[in-house]
Amino acid sequence: MAGHPEADYPPMMPAQTDALRRYADQHGRCWKASLRNEWWCASADPLLHGLRRASLWRRARRDLDRRDPATRQTLLDYWNRHRWLPGDPTYLLDMLHGFDSGRLRIVEGQVQPAKVVISVAEAMDMPTAAKPVAGGWLGKRA
């Protein structure tokens, strides 16, 4: 069933289904909000936490699959070789968002941050208002 939200989810294992039902029974009507809160606080049962991580990995893979092969390979190479990116789906999704929003770009087959430093000459040419005169401690002029 294309377009249906649950079409992207593989069936849960019996242990996951049982754990989710027990959780829903324990937490009542607002069990989804409680589970989401525990996911964000990383205090959920490991079996239930695995459901969250699995859905995020699937989302990241779908995002990668929609890209052309060269871009996908360049982004994956960057992800796999970057020493500060842990193997966590939220970091991969953030990296992909950074690329989509222009914070990261591909230059000559390499992922690089967008220009974040400007030269002094560029800074001097920027039209800005005059800097206010500092008033010293507690606004008193010296």
Please compute the mean of the pLDDT values over residues 72-97 and round it to a whole number: 88
Expressed in percent and rounded to 5, the helix, strand and coil fractions of the chain are 60, 5, 35
More confident residue, 95 or 17: 95
Nearest residue to 96 (alpha-carbon basis) of 80, 79, 83:
79
More confident residue, 82 or 75: 75
Under a CB-based contact definition with an 8 Å cutoff, are residues 103 and 110 in contact? no
Please compute the mean of the pLDDT values over residues 63-70 and round it to a whole number: 94
Taking CA atoms, 58 is separated from 53, 54, 62, 104, 132, in Å, by 9, 6, 6, 22, 51
More confident residue, 74 or 18: 74
Please compute the mean of the pLDDT values over residues 93-105 and round it to a whole number: 91
How deeply is 60 buried, as exposed, middle or buried, from its count of CB atoms within 10 A (0-12, 13-18, 19+)?
Answer: buried
Q: How confident is the model at residue 84, as a pLDDT?
A: 77
Q: Per residue in 108-137, pLDDT tens?
A: 999 998 876 777 887 777 777 666 665 666
Nearest residue to 111 (alpha-carbon basis) of 81, 141, 67:
81
